[in-house]
Amino acid sequence: QKEVEQNSGPLSVPEGAIASLNCTYSDRGSQSFFWYRQYSGKSPELIMSIYSNGDKEDGRFTAQLNKASQYVSLLIRDSQPSDSATYLCAVNMRGGYQKVTFGTGTKLQVIP
């Protein structure tokens, strides 16, 4: 089992819809969880961080964490074509030193 797993996609959603991106992780002791957005040919960009169970909202983005199920998700409301990118889930499994393990990413396509 991979430490951090994501569906590679592509996930296609129409403009204005809600995009739901999912991620599971293996280490039950993981403490910090992150979502990065990566446009084609660019470097990863941090868009959300979440540390406790529940939802965290930032503009059109909502991160959801369920530590019991070892599951973290990212919802994008009112999806825009500019949201088309690959979204990387990242998990800090050991705390302390900032060592973060990344999933392979889900490619999102927002169709105008």
Partner 1 sequence: DAGVIQSPRHEVTEMGQEVTLRCKPISGHDYLFWYRQTMMRGLELLIYFNNNVPIDDSGMPEDRFSAKMPNASFSTLKIQPSEPRDSAVYFCASDRRGSNQPQHFGDGTRLSIL
What is the CB neighbour count within 10 angstroms for residue 4? 22
Q: Which is nearer to partner 1, 18 or 39 (CB)?
A: 39
Residue 81: φ, ψ to 5°: -55, -30
CA–CA separation, 11 and 1 (whole Å): 23
Q: Which of residues 33-52 bind partner 1 (CB under 8 A)?
A: 34, 42-46, 49, 51
Residue 53 found at the interface with partner 1 (CB under 8 A): no
**Tokens 């999912």 -> residue:** 22
Residue 72 CB-density burial (10 A; 0-12 exposed, 13-18 middle, 19+ buried):
buried
Residue 105 found at the interface with partner 1 (CB under 8 A): yes
Residue 77 found at the interface with partner 1 (CB under 8 A): no
Q: Which is nearer to partner 1, 73 or 103 (CB)?
A: 103
Q: Which of residues 2-31 bind partner 1 (CB under 8 A)?
A: none
Residue 103 found at the interface with partner 1 (CB under 8 A): yes
Tokens standing for residue 81: 């074509």
Q: Which is nearer to partner 1, 17 or 67 (CB)?
A: 67
**How is the chain split among helix, strand and coil, in percent rounded to 5?**
5, 55, 45
Binding region for partner 1 (CB under 8 A)? 32, 34, 42-46, 49, 51, 88, 90, 92, 97-105
